[in-house]
Structure 1
Amino acid sequence: MNEMWGSQKVKSNNSLRGKNFIDGNYAMFIHWGLYSQLANKWKGKTYYGIGEWLMHKDLAGVPADEYMEVAKDFNPTKFDADAFVSLAKNAGMKYIIITSKHHDGFAMFDTKVSDFNVVKATPYGKDLMKQLAEACKKQEMGFGFYYSHNQDWTEPGGNGGPKTNAKGEAVTFDDYFKNKCLPQVIELTKNYGDIELIWFDTPGNMPKKYVEELVQVVRKYQPKALVSGRAGHGLGDYTTLGDMEIPNKNHEGLWETVDVINDSWGYAWYDQNWKTPKDILERLISTVARGGTYMVNIGPKGDGTIPIQSTKALLNAGKWIKKYPNVVYGAEASPWKHKLPWGDVTKKGNSLYLSIYKWPIDGELYLPGLQSNIESCTIQTKKGNIALKVQKINGWTKINLPSNRPEKLVSVVTLKLNEPPKVISTLGIDPVIETELLAEFATASDAKKDHKYWMEKFGEWKATAHIHSFKEYGKAYWKVDVLKPGYYQVELDYAGEGRLVWSVETDDNEQMQNQQNSSQIYAYHSIGWLKFKKSGKHKIAVSLVEGNAEKASLRAIKLIPVVLD
């Protein structure tokens, strides 16, 4: 994966570029092409995975000459550029990035350097990118292009493409680059007005000299446009994290997360696994709270229509954003540097916006480690903003919420401080809501801690930090702050092979041990009750006592307050 996406050790962004990226924090990605017409079916068989990779040998393995014939059936007569842009605008997004050419090599624009394009090869015969660029300009929406600069599965010489041309002559990557890639990027940067950015992808082992030429073209014709980090060789303006990756810790520098509204980037007929409006908002807010920009993808159908579920989810999330713009636009990262058990925090100036994903059933919201004095604490309701009672308790801030949550999706508490936020970024054990302590925040002793990535369906990336390779006295431990002593139900999230015996203990000699089964898929397993004898700072440790240490992988521990009379 890292080899495919290339080195992204980019420098700080030039302040002349990327205003919508930096301040808008929210964008629409669109994957649309011939693969949308196929919708993950080839010769009557459905292939499960990301649709735009249908040609790849690990899915349908479609030969290039057969795939190119699909263009004869591509006729998106229901495409409405204004409707696309209106959807993005009403969803609260600030710019649109669309696939001008994906790895299949098909150009969704009027290119002079290849006949394999929407104008010359399809019955539709019109430049889709021109229509969308004009609609964005009319509605004052930012616009930019995705362009696959390294992989091209139908162009001779492109990475993954044929090795000979139509005359049977051997060709190289240099031929592809000079005859197709470079001139097409020139066309995109010269012929479509002002653009926000060029989103290059999967540079792989593409030599640096080629990436340098492409970046020079963008700088020449679009000096205000950003270049994505996936251009490669550290030549981009910002970093793109792994697909669908929302980081757990604040991430430094200029970066984005790219996500998909269901499972497949390109349209797949079977894929109905839509994110809800609440899912979208939580992933957006938590991306901004980690310091990044969130770009979520839709996959239009081959006829040019957008699945209605995408539209409903985005518009409902957009209504919320319209009510709470300060949570997203121009907002900065959380001073806690990680999520909190009930939700997440963004900030602007001396104001903190507490976005509540899980409404506490007893109406008490707890903030650990806030040092700054609070001028006001309010929550927005249908009757307007109402003031909330705030108490300081043993280094924690307790906020008394209304009896009923004012929002079905995400409610927001606004804290106005009399100074910039000062926070002790501690892992607080919430006295009301279950607290998940991720392996990413643990210290490993006589065990290993690192990240791993895997796919459960083709192209659908999963990622987690985990602790593994436990030695005889190996432990994972977390330093935590406990407000309310008492009993907490302990669950461990792990994967492995066979029955595993885990031990959990605290620094005040409370210890528990239990055996549970395991599987290759991460799942929570109940271990038992653990008692914190007093409030304050504690250390909680997890160790593997018996079982297959080579296969055991610990992802998190969850502490759930036990309610007793």
Structure 2
Amino acid sequence: MPMQPWFSEAKLGIFVHYGIYAVDGVPESWSFYTGQVPHDRYMKQLDGFTASDYDPRAWAGLFARAGAKYAVLTARHHDGVALWDTDQGDLSVVRQTPAGRDLLAGYAEALREQGLKVGLYYSHSDWNHPDYASAVHPDPPNEEVRANRYASAAPGQEDPEAWARFLAYRNAQVGELVTRFRPDLLWFDGEWERSEEQWEMRELSELILAGNPDTVLNARMLSYGNYSTPEQGVPLLPPEGPWELCLTVNDSWGFQPQDHHHKSVRQLVRYFAETIGMGGNLLLDVGPREDGTIPAEQAARLEGLGTWIAKHSEAVYGTVAGLPAGHHYGPSTLSADRRTLYLMCFDTPRETVSLRGLRTPVTRVRVVGTGTELGHRVIGGLGDVPGVLWIDAPEAADADELATVLAVELGGELDVYRGTGRD
């Protein structure tokens, strides 16, 4: 299925890990899977999940101010607790928590009011479902998958009928998400615990696309996904095709009150610029408290990133990946018509900014956000090997505190030299 153009044009999405794990502030699902928290204590969090201050319109407004064009909410994590009133059993915040209501409908409506695309996260695996640990991966990726009682059947205890029931349950839940909330994007997870054939990925893909043929699917649909999802570190080489970097604001996906290790706005601007400079999107994660409020430290960082993006929007939206490494000391983006190159300067430029290997003549250089024009000249060059473009550093008043962006306007489409120089 061809990729929907809105995705690569979005640049920024917000990931939201929201669930009962916020009650005690423990790692989502993994805390009982690994034995960090006893299973009964983990599930006891159902009693404390209120969503009492959940305001999806406030979320959507914050996400829009951050500059995001889509968001992805954990409709159901590996713990099996659904945030909507599923017809597939009673394990939902609607039926088993004080929240007592569907949390997805308002979310989808609020995002659409802001013009944002609606994404829903859904885990293939369900460590609470009685039929889940009834199969074994034919080639387990690690010992934990093979041996964990929540993930796999014990040797000789496989139950194909139970596994078929589980797939029917999963298909029914995904069908509910597609028909009730019409997500633009489905973000799957948990795929490593079974093979593509065991998951029946082809059939699942057909089910989703029959409901909405424009649904974007991530690579955790394996052969049936549209884009890659590296986590927590900007890749040194961009993945093939569309991709998205999944990054937490602090060190945790969900709300963990002891985790104050928040990345600064400056660091987030760097992550964002480096990601879009390689043609990817940033999916920036926040973890709301159990009452539905996003911690102030995280909200402030989204606001700060959004302020920088708004000032430099021409270098963000409507652009593609910029120069390969080595031409400029920092990331860059390129306008869709390939006639304006945007250079990101993380440190305050001093004296000059250099650009190497540029063959296309430059007509003007200006500071994005202020419009101030900068002097520039080419020095050197021999035959086919272009000289270095030296751009005068902007005055302090024109430099941005977080990252200064220079627009290099070209006399034609970008053409760069990639050779080894004259012998």
TM-score by length of 2: 0.87
Within the alignment, does 1:338 sit opposite 2:325 as a pair? yes
CA distance, structure 2, for counterparts of residue 276 and residue 172 of structure 1: 48
Change (3 A) 1:123 1:37: same
> For residue 353 of structure 1, what is the aligned residue in structure 2?
342
Letter in 2 for 1:183: A
Choose from 114, 118, 136 the match for 2:93.
118
Instruction: Give percent identity, aligned residues only.
Output: 28
> For residue 57 of structure 2, what is the aligned residue in structure 1?
82
Residue deviations 1:11-67 (CA, integer Å, cap 9, x gap): xx61xx523312111101111111111202xxxxxxxxx54522221x51432x443
> For residue 30 of structure 2, what is the aligned residue in structure 1?
53
> For residue 236 of structure 1, what is the aligned residue in structure 2?
225
Which structure shows the bigger proportion of residues in strand conformation?
Answer: 1
Q: Per-residue deviation at 1:141?
A: 1.5
Change (3 A) 1:277 1:339: farther
Letter in 1 for 2:13: A
Change (3 A) 1:316 1:54: same
Q: Per-residue deviation at 1:251?
A: 3.8
Which structure shows the bigger proportion of residues in helix conformation?
Answer: 2
Change (3 A) 1:341 1:369: closer
Write the mapping of 1:151-550 to structure 2, written as runs, cut at 5 A.
151-159=125-133, 161=150, 172-178=162-168, 180-192=169-181, 194-209=182-197, 210-232=200-222, 234-241=223-230, 243-335=231-323, 337-338=324-325, 342-348=329-335, 349=337, 350-360=339-349, 362-380=350-368, 384-394=370-380, 395-404=387-396, 405-425=398-418
> In 1, are the aligned partners of 2:177 and 2:183 still within 8 Å (CA)?
no
Match of 2:284, SS?
strand
Residue deviations 1:471-513 (CA, integer Å, cap 9, x gap): xxxxxxxx8x9xxxxxxxxxxxxxxxxxxxxxxxxxxxxxxxx
CA distance, structure 1, for counterparts of residue 24 and residue 241 of structure 2: 39
* Root mean square deviation of aligned Cα: 2.3
Letter in 1 for 2:214: K
Match of 1:112, SS?
coil
CA distance, structure 1, for counterparts of residue 296 and residue 6 of structure 2: 27
CA distance, structure 2, for counterparts of residue 353 and residue 163 of structure 1: 50
> In 2, are the aligned partners of 1:156 and 1:162 still within 8 Å (CA)?
no
> For residue 69 of structure 2, what is the aligned residue in structure 1?
94
Change (3 A) 1:353 1:163: closer
Structure 1: gaps (5+ residues): 1-12, 41-49, 427-478, 482-535, 538-565
CA distance, structure 2, for counterparts of residue 214 and residue 356 of structure 1: 45
> For residue 22 of structure 1, what is the aligned residue in structure 2?
8
CA distance, structure 2, for counterparts of residue 51 and residue 312 of structure 1: 23
> In 1, are the aligned partners of 2:312 and 2:368 still within 8 Å (CA)?
no
> In 2, are the aligned partners of 1:29 and 1:97 still within 8 Å (CA)?
yes
> For residue 384 of structure 2, what is the aligned residue in structure 1?
none
Match of 1:332, SS?
strand
Match of 1:120, SS?
helix
> In 2, are the aligned partners of 1:18 and 1:224 still within 8 Å (CA)?
yes
> In 1, are the aligned partners of 2:28 and 2:77 still within 8 Å (CA)?
no
Change (3 A) 1:225 1:401: same
> In 1, are the aligned partners of 2:346 and 2:403 still within 8 Å (CA)?
yes
TM-score by length of 1: 0.66
CA distance, structure 2, for counterparts of residue 302 and residue 292 of structure 1: 31
CA distance, structure 1, for counterparts of residue 404 and residue 332 of structure 2: 12
Change (3 A) 1:251 1:69: closer
CA distance, structure 2, for counterparts of residue 251 and residue 101 of structure 1: 27
CA distance, structure 2, for counterparts of residue 162 and residue 420 of structure 1: 53
Letter in 2 for 1:227: L
> In 2, are the aligned partners of 1:102 and 1:147 still within 8 Å (CA)?
yes
CA distance, structure 1, for counterparts of residue 332 and residue 29 of structure 2: 35
Change (3 A) 1:397 1:215: same
> In 1, are the aligned partners of 2:51 and 2:99 still within 8 Å (CA)?
yes
CA distance, structure 2, for counterparts of residue 251 and residue 231 of structure 1: 16
> In 2, are the aligned partners of 1:115 and 1:121 still within 8 Å (CA)?
yes
Letter in 2 for 1:157: D
Q: Per-residue deviation at 1:294?
A: 1.3
Structure 2: gaps (5+ residues): 134-148, 381-386
CA distance, structure 2, for counterparts of residue 240 and residue 62 of structure 1: 31
CA distance, structure 1, for counterparts of residue 292 and residue 262 of structure 2: 19
